[in-house]
Chains A and B, each alone.
Chain A
Amino acid sequence: MDEASKTVTNEQLSEIIDLVKQIHGFDFSDYSKASFKRRVNRVLMVKKLDFHDLKHLLVNDQAFFQHFLEEVTVNVTEMFRDPTFFKALCHDVVPYLSTWQHIKIWSAGCSSGEEAYSLAILMNQSGLKNKSFIYGTDINTVVLKEAKKGIYSLRNVKSYAENYLLSGFKGSLTDNFTTLYDAATVHNELKTNTLFSVHNLISDTAFNEFQLICCRNVFIYFETALQERVLDLFYKSLSPHGFLCLGSKETIRSDKFKKKFKPVNAKENIYQKIES
């Protein structure tokens, strides 16, 4: 097999980005290029397509586009990813959150819901379940269906058990699930305080006012200019003194927003909105 024919050039990548924007209304032009290119090349490889096949399918096949969207937006996630982050959240943020009457939390770019349910479990363990509500949003309807179901393979849930313990929570992670054969379903009492819906960080506006926004490992796919636009959206979506959590390797690069958010925990990239 000729490897070169199965990968796109930078010009072809631009063509695909333009085409997806015009036909499907999704704008990937400010996504980090190297990573996006790799995702597109991966679709070509897995589906055994060349550039022209890909263009044809993107124009003519709506079902293929959903698949493409799922593949190019990375949906790898886990529960209690980065236990040191969840520890910091409990220690540095939860005491502050508990002073609010209602605690609205936004898991932005929630994929199949693992992070949103981790937050639901955290709020439950902190005794704040009854006054908290968690919104999970993503651009991808396929993964949102999974999130709404809250059913994960028992094997996956068991693989998150170490994260859970390292995060310092009581009992075991599986205590929060009802298991049947190989399926583990998030307890209903945890699901009642969650809502999952479609939201596009790039093109949609603020839809609520939150005390906490978790958007971890999403910014890595955005170029800095796009990060700044999304930071503006988050700033507008936070209540006074609300908290923003980015991924363990993501920081606020924009000088403008460095002035609008103060680091609460610099190592874990937890920020608090400063009122101007």
Chain B
Amino acid sequence: MKADKSLIDRWKTSEILLFGGSAGAFKILFKAVSILQPDLNKAVVIVMHRKKNYQSEIEKLFSLNSRLPLKEISDKDEISPNAIYIAPANYHTLIEKNGHFGLDVSEAMWYSKPSIDVTFESAADIYQGKATAILLSGANPDGARGMLKLKHAGALTIAQDPAEAEMPEMPLAAINAGAVDYILNTDEIFDLLQN
């Protein structure tokens, strides 16, 4: 699918970029954070399924590769443009009305904490049309509900092409739910991020 003008326009007016992914998403995100420009004018939030009690090196690895400041989210952190935020393991990350993150330790969704749905749904409430969400490879259907709510709120919703995803189930679930505006392969996603 070729990137059209409407896609670019909606991307450019977004105030927040949301990434969701699970198995098979790491490599793509690793490259994505290196592509994002310091004058992006958006906050970037990454929700990746992670193991609890596992002091992951994700923040360190991503930081080395990124030109934007990057941090793991703490409760009530302010959301600023031109920064990358990573949802911590063992919490759900929500977006609050006053421009802050909120965390929540309630039950896992789809066996996952953080849940992509929880973050995406709360982002739809706050950002409505001014959000872009990109759902990547993963082995469960988390994210589909959140993408649907974002789409209904007018946000731009993009799924990685399941044909090239390492684990197609996650983007496929969102596509089957009718929650996806554009299906893009990783190169097309990287092109968009550079725009």
Contacts and interface: CB of A to CB of B under 8 A. Distances in A.
Interface of A: 32-35, 37-39, 74, 76-77, 83-84, 162-163, 166, 217, 219-221, 224, 227, 247, 249-251, 253
B102 A74 contact: no
A217 B105 contact: yes
A38 B76 contact: no
B82 to A, nearest CB: 22
Contact of A74 (B74, B95, B106, B126): B106
Nearest to A162: B53
B103 interface: yes
A224 B99 CA distance: 13
A250 B101 CA distance: 12
Interface residues of B, number: 23
A220 B103 contact: yes
B74 A32 contact: no
A32 B106 CA distance: 14
A84 B107 CA distance: 22
Contacts of B106: 38-39, 74, 76
Given A166-B53, A220-B75, A224-B76, A32 B102 contact: yes
Closest 7 CB pairs of A and B: A34-B94, A32-B102, A74-B106, A220-B103, A220-B75, A34-B122, A249-B74
B36 interface: no
A220 B104 contact: yes
Interface in B32-70: 53, 55
Interface of B: 53, 55, 73-76, 88, 91, 94-97, 102-107, 118, 121-122, 125-126
By CB atoms of chain A within 10 A, which of B75, B91, B103, B104 has the most? B75
Contacts of B126: 34
A44 to B, nearest CB: 14
A163 B103 contact: no
Contacts of A217: 105
A227 B102 CA distance: 13
Given A33-B97, A74-B105, A220-B103, A250 B125 contact: no
Contacts of B88: 249
A34 B74 contact: no
A35 B53 contact: no
A76 B74 contact: no
B97 to A, nearest CB: 6
Nearest to A269: B74
10 contacts: A32-B96, A35-B102, A35-B104, A74-B104, A74-B105, A76-B105, A217-B105, A220-B91, A249-B91, A250-B75
B122 A76 contact: no
Given A220-B102, A249-B103, A38 B118 contact: yes
Nearest to B102: A32
A251 B100 CA distance: 14
Contact of A219 (B53, B75, B94): B75
Given A32-B94, A32-B102, A220-B102, A250 B74 contact: yes
A22 B73 CA distance: 35
B94 A249 contact: no
B73 A249 contact: yes
Contacts of B104: 35, 38, 74, 220-221
By CB atoms of chain B within 10 A, which of A33, A84, A166, A224 has the most? A33
Contacts of B102: 32, 34-35, 220
A129 to B, nearest CB: 27
By CB atoms of chain A within 10 A, which of B73, B105, B106 has the most? B105
A220 B53 contact: no
A276 to B, nearest CB: 25
A32 B105 CA distance: 13
A220 B74 CA distance: 9
Nearest to B97: A33
A54 B122 CA distance: 22
By CB atoms of chain B within 10 A, which of A37, A38, A84 has the most? A38
Contact of A220 (B97, B105, B107, B121): B105
By CB atoms of chain B within 10 A, which of A74, A84, A162 has the most? A74
A136 B73 CA distance: 29
Given A220-B103, A221-B104, A35 B91 contact: no
Contacts of B73: 249
